[in-house]
Amino acid sequence: MEPVVTAIRQVPLEHYVALSFILFSIGLTGALFRRNTIIILMCLELMFNSVNLLLTAFSAHHSDPGGQVFVFFTMLVAAAEVTVGLAILVMMKRNVDSVDINQLNRLKG
Amino acid sequence: MNTTILAALVPGLPLLGAIVIAALRRSLKGNSAGLLGTLAIGSAFALSVMLFLGHDPAAGPYTAHLFNWIDIGGMHIPFAFQVDALSLTMMLIVTGVGTLIHLYSIGYMHDDARVSTFFALLNLFTFAMLLLVMGANYAITFIGWEGVGLCSYLLIGFWYTNPAYNYAARKAFVMNRIGDLGFVLGLAWLFNVTGSLTFTEVFDRVAGLGPDVLTGITLLLFVGAIGKSAQLPLFTWLPDAMAGPTPVSALIHAATMVTAGIYLIVRSSVLFELAPFTQDVVLYTGLVTALVAATIGVFQNDIKKVLAYSTVSQLGYMFVALGLGAYSAGMFHVTTHAFFKALLFLGAGSVIHALGGEQDIRRMGGLKGAIKVTHLTFLLGTLAIAGIPPFSGFFSKDAILANAFDRSPVLYALLLGGALITTFYMFRLYFLTFWGAYRGDKHPHESPAVMTVPLLVLAVLSVVGGLLNLPHVFGGHEPMKHFLAHAADGIGAERLHLEASTEWMLMGLSTALVVLVIALAHGRFAKKATLDPEADELPFLPRLLARKWYLDELYERLFEKPYGWLSTMFHRVGEGWVMVPLMNGAGRLTQRAGQVLRLAQTGNMSFYLFAMVAGIVVFLLMTLYGR
Amino acid sequence: MQYLFYLFAAISVLSGLFVVTARNPVNSVIALIVCFLSIAGHYILLNAQFLAMVQVIVYTGAIMVLFLFVIMLLNLNNSTEPQKTLLTRIAAVVAGGVFLLTLLAATRQGVEIAAANPADASVGLVSHVGMALFKDFLLPFEVSSVLFLSAMVGALMLGKKEKVAA
Amino acid sequence: MSALILTSVLGVVLLYLGLSGNKSILAPTAIVGLVAAGVMSWTGWNPGLMEFPTMLKFDQMSTLFNCAMIAVTVLLFLFGIDYYRRMEENVAEHYALMVFSLTGALILTSYTNLLMLFLGIEILSIPLYILAGGKKRSYRSSEASFKYFLLGSFATAFFLMGIALIYGVTASFDLAVIGQKVQAAPNNVLFLLGAFFVSIALSFKVGAVPFHFWSPDVYEGAPTLVTAFMATVVKTAAFAGFYRFLQMTAMPPALSDTLLVITILTLFLGNVVAMRQSQFKRLMAYSSIAHTGFLLMAVLANSAMSWSTLFYYTFTYALATVGLFIVLTLAKRAANGNEAIVIFRGLFRANPWLALVTMLLLLSLAGIPLTAGFVAKYQVFMLAIGAGFIKTAVFAVFMALVGIYYYVLVIREAFTPAEETPVLVVSPINWLVVSACGVAVVAFALWPVLVG
Amino acid sequence: MVLLALLLIPFLTALALMLARPTNTARHIALGSTIASLGLVALIWWSYVPGQTWVPVKFDWAPTLGLTFSLGYDGVSLLMLLLTALVFPFIIAAGYRQNLQHPSMVNALLLFTQSFLFGVFTAQNAFLFYIFYELSLVPVFFLLLYWGGERRRAITVRFFIYTLLGGLMLLFGLAYCVTQTAPISADFAVLHALRIPADTQVWLFWALFLAFAIKLPIFPFHSWQPDTYTMAPLQGTMVLGGVMLKMGLYGVLKFVFPIVPFGVEHWRDTVIWLSIIGALYAGIIAFRQQDLKRLVAYSSLSHVGLLCAGLFAWNVYGTGGALYQSFAHAVLVVSMLYIVGALKERTGTSELGAMGGLKGKAPRLAALFFLVMINAVALPLTQSFVGEWLMFNGLWQVDGWMAFAAVATIILGAVYMLYAYQRAMLGPDRWKMEMPDAGRNDHLYLVPLIAITLVLGLYPAPILDLVNGPVQQMLSTLTALN
């Protein structure tokens, strides 16, 4: 197992952090960028994944399984959220006949 | 009877009279109210005489302590009366002249529907006046001071349906109030430096005070005196005050209330003696007022207005006396003036009564045959005020002139000039009223006895009043001066030193000139009755005088109009444009902010997301670099 | 080995960008799947085998398919969906860029974190994760059932057609 | 712990009961179950169950919060009897979802582990996303639901990022461990970032500016009962969670400053915008934002008294809110579904007692003496001043004034005679609940000892 | 127990009125209640030992907040109790002529106010004070909202908010002070012993004072007042002007002077000048007011400016005089407003321009009006004079110019009062219709008030003795502090 450890150590932690930040920002930008709510949901998933990556990297760095367990829970929650989200989306499509985020502006003021 | 109770009864009886008459005013029919009122004052007079007789001048003032009025912290103001020479003099004048005027009023006000109210007020006035002169401290004096002002207001506006009378009443009250401003401040200052307002204590403590403080205090007190005694620049209310019934003019606006300022200064003579600057101010104010009022008097056509200006002028003389430090001379003139001016007013009232309300001398004339008693007494009064020996006015005025001469011949000359003008307009009044042909249309009739008897009594007093203070040159001992000297150290400190020959010369000069002026007046008014037209038609200088030097107009432009304007502006601009909009504006601004911020809630979710991200970025930067 | 990391990193970033920019939602889904797979690759590099597996199964296998399914269901697979205005899009990019820059700037000095435990390559193995999951994290595991239950109930409730169009 | 289990099971039971099709037993069952859970929570009854001290700790604070939240839920369910009478379908699901959400809330008050915080928040939120869309054919309801969901998920992403960063620094999710580690090495920028992100996400949950945008829209769009639930239980739980987080992981000063700015913004925006609302539910939403500002002040003061103040404030606020939403529903029915403030007009004529209680509740929200809201506000001021936030407190004073303004406007409507006096139909249970809220609001003011 | 009874008598009566809603007997019941209160206060006064602070009721309420339910009184409290108890029967009695709708509700609200006012004046705990202070607003709010005049909806809310602005600042200041105590307590005794740093006091002063500045109100915090006074029903104005503003005075004495003496020292001149400017300003404005009620509002504003200036003179004359004057002012406001009501009842208007010449028809009313008015212009031997006299002396000791400006207000007072009297009552009688003169009821109402005015003007000792002790004591502790 030793080579694995060294292999992990070869990539500095900062790079993982940076990568995670970049992915997170891409997701964030996408959420602002698009009108299609489904894409926005996907961007959110991307953000979750960037966090997962970060957690795993830290977990490996600390050699602590807790982080990975957390990632597992994140995935569960993400799955549940997606389920609910898509259900809401479907309901909304039925009512609004659109998944355009800009169409949702009856509640305001 | 105990002196304290006696002293308390003197103002107490008029008060009681006022209350009783006011309470029973609807059940009092006919003359009963008048009789009650006269009785109350008469008893007060009797008690005053008793006090006077029982008073030992050498023993100093007697203090009648009733109860503690204001007692808080270091301020102990007792409700107490002081009986001494000065207050006794004033008490006798007030109650004595007051009784006569009350009696007179029974006849004068006989037909008025509100005669009971009138007598109640008159009694109330006497009460207040007595408080003024009897108070053992400045606070009690001030109670009376304001009280007489109030009664004056009520009596001037007695015939309330006439708006002009109401205005005159209001003017009198407000001008008095302006004077009171000075009085109150003076008292506050005085209390602050001496810790007391009781006369005896104050006078003991003032010696150590600096001249600036004393000058300030006395000037403030003098402002009060100016208001009450109708001196420049606050005299314009007094002529207007003639709107009241004539007995009121006689009692309040001639004999008693207006002399309150003199009384105050005489009472405070200790202070004034220590403040020479103030004495000069008093002197010159009195001088200017005496002259200005006299000049105005020449062109007046209302019988009461002439008398009013003469009152103002005579008060000026009194102030001159006080300014010269001749307190007893001032008080002497107060006394004689009370006699002859009351007499003149009552006489004028009798004339007005006789003519059914006519007051314009241009519509009189030739009355000496129709109303003989009135004529006679009026003549005596006129002679007294003109200063013909041996009438009382001669002695009192001469005392003042002598004192003035002692100070400066110029002063003497000016005052003598004023006296001559006085003689001129008084005789103009007299001749136009009683001589020549009758120019009116009503049938004149003599007044009832209830009115003429007081006239006669006053006439006698006007004639013999000079005896009260007969000077040495006539073999007298100036009894009044010596009597008063016991009241306060200041009064005793007079310093007139004239040769007897100089005095004789001065008297001769003034008498001669007066006689000359009378002759002039006789020629001008007795035979042909030269009548002045309305003021507007006069040439400039007489018009200026007839229009009272345009002082009323000046005050109106300078104070009344701007005040009304200020009131409107404060309300419109201060409240309407600033205060209320400020308050509403704060609310409206908040609402506007709410309205604007509300727009942020667009309902658009992209915007929400964007705002969240923007917020996060900003706060992130703040967190990282904000500290 | 680290070259693999950079390779995967490049793939995930590029595919991530493609997710955002692709006009057709289906393309976005495909790109996202690629991205997730590359992240799974990272997991393997980090020796987190269990997570890599779950990543592939749950995300790419279940979640993304669900997305695809919904897109098809709602008939959104056209590439002509309306776009935001240019200004909004620039603003979005700027916001995201600033956010990223701030984060990077904050961590520029490097993240000096002492490892909490001695290096142990076996933490990511299924057995280790399982032990942690069922020992230390038993309660969350149980509690998450409530979460699933409610998500399930909710999805059913919302997805179910109304009985009558009353 | 037993209460937690009971509520979880209760949800399932309710779902099963829903299958039976008998609507009328749902609420009573739920209420009985909740009362039992409340009793368990209060007594700490825990027969042989495992304890997970690294995950959940039931201390005095959580016990009180839990009982309060359960009590408020019971009140809401009592109201639900009447509220759901007209609804044909999914009633059981509504009750169950609310119970599940409550479970999440219970976790939030007592967690000691970030994972539990995360799960708690999700369990709290996900049922709400669904409940907000409870009126399935309503456009507004769908919109509210979706907005809530999307923004909520967005916040969750930040939340996770924050947890990941904190974990990166401390290698643990346990708050106690984190606290120790941070004290050993303060000023770590990653930890600061992590704490910042978590705080932001929690600010979102409590509805702090500028992360509040969801709340007015969702409050308006969601069914009234759900709105009431969100404004009360959810807010309470979120604050309890927030407080625990900041309390147990010593907050960096830089973060405290930022949160103070957020507090000020929240106070300002919430109050000022509420002034301009004509819809009662939106008004309540903005006023809830405003109250968030006050509560944040208490949280930031970070003293030993903070939690009791938070508890007192949130509980009494919840009582007042529940009562008001019930009154709103009644008035709304009389006004044919209109939700504007004007519908309160003539309330005093129609039902004096109800108007009086409404006044009490509004006065409590406004913070006028002899109502609990006053005591609460006073405590917050004391905390803020004690923590040295003098200027913020002065600002809060002004904002409280603005707050009073819009509540008073509602009171004024209620006591202004209407041209046509509305006909209110008040069921006995609703009457009881509203009265209970009104009485409680005064009682808690008269005996503040009762709660803290 | 007596104090508890004092609070409970009006409170329970009000509650009973509200629940039973008798229409015909409501006023009688309310009147009875207020007279009972008056009797009780008289009893307290009778047994009072001068110079004492007496705290008979005290128990813990909420120790964590520093709140104790402690009631008690010293001379100043007693004075305030006395004036509240004395004025309220008249306020209730004014209702007999007003004939407002729903008399039981009106009277209940008034009685609630009275109860809370008693609470304010007996509270020995700052927090308790605050509670009563704010509560007293609530019944007034409804009184104004239901029975007010034009634009009542907007003005009522504005009044409420403006007053609460001060109230909340006070709460803040209170909270600040309480946090400085250990163990936490808001008892006045504890707060008065606080030693707050001088520079803190400088700003804390405004936190504590603002509420009272608005309540009184002094310039420039007065903008709510004229509208509110004018719009409010007569009885409401009586409550506001007669009693409620005295809470401000009392509050200054209880909160500001003892807790932030350095602050007072720092701001004293500012406050006095503001007050005097306000007094002059309002006095000038009052001159041209057309509406008699608004004129009374501005005149009250002017009087109150003087009151506040005297209070802040901070010596026994100024402060004592202000307290004495507050009593006089209460009597004055009630009687003055009654006259306003009586005139409106007869002429159907309160516009001065529309009146005039009423004295011919109603001479007795005119006489009563006049007697009331001489109190307003502070003529000697009326109550007002004693108060103003003391205040002038107090102000003089601070600064001669202050005294000068203050005395100038009495000139303005004379100007607008006499002008108003003249416009309303004097002049030619131009009323065609028959008009009742002041009758038995008017006499029953006004004569006692006027008698109080005159008697206490002639013999002010009973009230001054009440005030003297506490004020001197307070001042001596303050001097010791400096």
Q: Domain total for chain A?
A: 1
Q: Rounded CA gap, B582 and E92, in Å?
A: 35
| Cα torsion angle, E344, E345, E349, E355, sign | negative
* pLDDT given for residue D416 in this prediction: 87
Contact between B131 and B11 under an 8 Å Cβ cutoff? The reply is: yes
CA proximity to B86, closest of B135, B122, B124, B127: B135
Q: Rounded CA gap, D83 and D228, in Å?
A: 12
* pLDDT given for residue B127 in this prediction: 92
| Cα torsion angle, B201, B202, B203, B205, sign | positive
- Coil/strand/helix, residue B493: coil
pTM of the model: 0.90
* pLDDT given for residue E65 in this prediction: 81
The pLDDT of residue C163 is above 60: no
Contact assignment for A35 to C159 by CB distance below 8 Å: no
Q: Domain total for chain C?
A: 1
Q: Rounded CA gap, D92 and D98, in Å?
A: 10
Q: Rounded CA gap, D370 and D438, in Å?
A: 12
First vs last C-alpha separation in chain E = 38
Tell me what the mean pLDDT of segment D29-37 comes to: 93
- pLDDT tens-digit readout, C56-103: 988 888 888 888 888 888 877 665 667 778 888 888 999 999 999 999
Alpha helices in E47-102 (DSSP H): 75-98
What tokens were used for C98? 């600033």
Chain A residues within an 8 Å CB radius of B595: none
D388 touches chain E (CB under 8 A): no
Tell me what the mean pLDDT of segment B565-573 comes to: 87
- Could you tell me how many CB contacts below 8 A there are between chain B and chain C? 21
Query: Would A82 be classed as within a structural domain?
Result: yes
Burial of C143 (0-12, 13-18, 19+ CB in 10 A): buried
CA proximity to D100, closest of D10, D16, D221: D10
Contact partners, residue D208, CB within 8 Å, separation at least 6: D262, D263, D265, D266, D289, D292, D293, D296
Q: Domain total for chain B?
A: 1
Query: Would B613 be classed as within a structural domain?
Result: yes
Tell me what the mean pLDDT of segment B245-268 comes to: 86
Query: Would C5 be classed as within a structural domain?
Result: yes
- pLDDT tens-digit readout, D187-244: 788 888 999 999 999 999 999 988 999 999 999 999 999 999 999 999 999 999 999 9
Q: Rounded CA gap, E144 and E126, in Å?
A: 28
- Coil/strand/helix, residue C21: helix
Pairing of strands E67-73, E54-62: antiparallel
Query: Would B435 be classed as within a structural domain?
Result: no
* Other CB atoms within 10 A of residue B438 CB: 16
Query: Would A2 be classed as within a structural domain?
Result: no
Contact assignment for B617 to C91 by CB distance below 8 Å: no
Position C46, amino acid = L
Proportion of chain A above pLDDT 70, given as a percent: 92
Contact assignment for D154 to A31 by CB distance below 8 Å: yes
* pLDDT given for residue C166 in this prediction: 41
Proportion of chain C above pLDDT 70, given as a percent: 92
CA proximity to B380, closest of B411, B330, B343: B343
Q: Which residue segment(s) compose the domain that B576 sits in?
A: 553-625
CA proximity to B623, closest of D259, D164, C100, D245: D259
Q: Rounded CA gap, E264 and D408, in Å?
A: 34
What tokens were used for A68? 């990975």
The top-scoring range by mean pLDDT among C136-140, D18-22, D31-35, E398-402 is D31-35
Radius of gyration of chain D from its Cα atoms, rounded to whole angstroms? 21
Residues of chain E with pLDDT under 70: 51, 482
Position A5, amino acid = V
Contact assignment for E288 to B568 by CB distance below 8 Å: yes
Contact assignment for A64 to D172 by CB distance below 8 Å: yes
C52 touches chain A (CB under 8 A): no
| Comparison of pLDDT for D75 and B355, the residue scoring more | D75
Radius of gyration of chain E from its Cα atoms, rounded to whole angstroms? 21
* Other CB atoms within 10 A of residue D354 CB: 24
Query: Would C81 be classed as within a structural domain?
Result: no
Please name the residues between 591 and 610 in chain B that touch chain A, using a CB distance below 8 Å: 598, 601-606, 609-610
Nearest-CA distance D326 → chain A (Å):
22
Q: Rounded CA gap, B218 and B215, in Å?
A: 5
Task: Choose from B597, B604, B605 for mutation: most chain A CBs within 10 A.
Answer: B605
Q: Rounded CA gap, D274 and D403, in Å?
A: 8
Contact assignment for A61 to C159 by CB distance below 8 Å: no
Query: Would A70 be classed as within a structural domain?
Result: yes
Contact between E475 and E316 under an 8 Å Cβ cutoff? The reply is: yes
B110 DSSP 8-state letter: T
Q: Give me the helix-helix angle, E26-46 and E75-98, nearest 10°.
A: 160
DSSP for B33-78, please give it: HHHHHHHHHHHHHHHHHHHHHH--GGG--EEEEEEEEEEETTEEEE
Tell me what the mean pLDDT of segment B247-264 comes to: 86
**A to D contact (≥3 Cβ pairs closer than 8 Å):** yes
- pLDDT tens-digit readout, A65-81: 889 999 999 998 999 99
Going from the C-alpha of D224 to that of each of D281, D315, D422, the distances in angstroms are 8, 19, 20
What tokens were used for E324? 């004495």
Q: Which residue segment(s) compose the domain that C18 sits in?
A: 1-75
Contact assignment for A109 to B605 by CB distance below 8 Å: no
Q: What is the CATH number of the domain that holds A51?
A: 1.10.287.3510
Chain C residues within an 8 Å CB radius of A52: 39, 51, 55
Q: What is the CATH number of the domain that holds C49?
A: 1.20.120.1200
Closest by Cβ to A29, choosing from C20, C67, C83? C20
Pairing of strands B62-72, B75-83: antiparallel
Burial of D44 (0-12, 13-18, 19+ CB in 10 A): exposed
Contact between B241 and B168 under an 8 Å Cβ cutoff? The reply is: yes
Nearest-CA distance B185 → chain E (Å):
7
* Other CB atoms within 10 A of residue B453 CB: 15
B627 touches chain A (CB under 8 A): no
**Backbone phi, then psi, for B79, in 5-degree steps?**
-90, 95
Tell me what the mean pLDDT of segment B217-235 comes to: 88
Q: Which residue has the tokens 């894409």?
A: A39
What tokens were used for E206? 């405004």
Q: Rounded CA gap, B75 and E309, in Å?
A: 19
Contact between B295 and B282 under an 8 Å Cβ cutoff? The reply is: no
Going from the C-alpha of D353 to that of each of B189, D83, D340, D359, the distances in angstroms are 62, 21, 21, 10
* pLDDT given for residue B465 in this prediction: 80
Q: Rounded CA gap, E314 and E272, in Å?
A: 10
- pLDDT tens-digit readout, B170-216: 888 888 888 888 999 999 999 988 888 888 888 888 888 888 888 99
Q: Which helix (DSSP H) or strand (DSSP E) does residue E224 occupy? A: none
Pairing of strands E67-73, B62-72: unpaired
Q: Rounded CA gap, A48 and A31, in Å?
A: 13
Confidence class of residue C1 from pLDDT cuts 50, 70 and 90? low
Contact between E242 and E91 under an 8 Å Cβ cutoff? The reply is: yes
Predicted ipTM of the assembly: 0.90
Nearest-CA distance C29 → chain D (Å):
18
Residues B245-265 as b or e (16 or more Cβ within 10 Å = b): bbbbbbbbbbbbbbbbbbbbb
Closest by Cβ to D393, choosing from E67, E164, E172? E172
Helices (H) and strands (E) in chain D, counts: 19, 0
**Closest chain A residue by Cα to residue D274:** A109
**Closest chain E residue by Cα to residue D375:** E65
Q: Rounded CA gap, D125 and B592, in Å?
A: 35
D126 touches chain C (CB under 8 A): yes
Q: Which helix (DSSP H) or strand (DSSP E) does residue E59 occupy? A: strand E54-62
Q: Which residue segment(s) compose the domain that A22 sits in?
A: 7-100
Please tell me which chains touch D, using 3 or more CB pairs under 8 Å as the contact test: A, B, C, E
D42 touches chain A (CB under 8 A): no
Please tell me which chains touch A, using 3 or more CB pairs under 8 Å as the contact test: B, C, D
Proportion of chain B above pLDDT 90, given as a percent: 7
For E351, what's the count of Cα atoms within 13 Å in the CB-facing half-sphere? 4
Query: Would C69 be classed as within a structural domain?
Result: yes
* pLDDT given for residue D289 in this prediction: 94
Query: Would B397 be classed as within a structural domain?
Result: no
| Comparison of pLDDT for C139 and B207, the residue scoring more | C139
Task: Choose from D151, D213, D251 for mutation: most chain B CBs within 10 A.
Answer: D213
First vs last C-alpha separation in chain C = 64
- pLDDT tens-digit readout, B25-65: 888 777 888 888 888 889 999 988 988 888 877 777 888 88
Residues E435-444 as b or e (16 or more Cβ within 10 Å = b): eeebeeebee
Tell me what the mean pLDDT of segment B420-444 comes to: 83
Tell me what the mean pLDDT of segment B129-140 comes to: 90
Q: Rounded CA gap, D308 and D293, in Å?
A: 17
**Closest chain B residue by Cα to residue C99:** B617
For C7, what's the count of Cα atoms within 13 Å in the CB-facing half-sphere? 8
Contact assignment for A54 to D164 by CB distance below 8 Å: yes
**A to E contact (≥3 Cβ pairs closer than 8 Å):** no
B501 DSSP 8-state letter: H
Q: Rounded CA gap, B346 and B251, in Å?
A: 9
Tell me what the mean pLDDT of segment B150-164 comes to: 87
Query: Would C30 be classed as within a structural domain?
Result: yes
Query: Would A21 be classed as within a structural domain?
Result: yes
Query: Would C55 be classed as within a structural domain?
Result: yes
Closest by Cβ to D168, choosing from A50, A58, A109? A58
* pLDDT given for residue C165 in this prediction: 45
**D to B contact (≥3 Cβ pairs closer than 8 Å):** yes
D107 touches chain C (CB under 8 A): yes
Beta bridge mates, D174: D113
The pLDDT mean for chain B works out to 85
Instruction: Indicate left, alpha or beta for D90 from its phi (over 0: left) and psi (-120 to 50: alpha).
Output: left
Tell me what the mean pLDDT of segment B289-304 comes to: 86
The pLDDT mean for chain A works out to 86
Proportion of chain D above pLDDT 70, given as a percent: 100
Tell me what the mean pLDDT of segment A83-107 comes to: 83
Query: Would B591 be classed as within a structural domain?
Result: yes
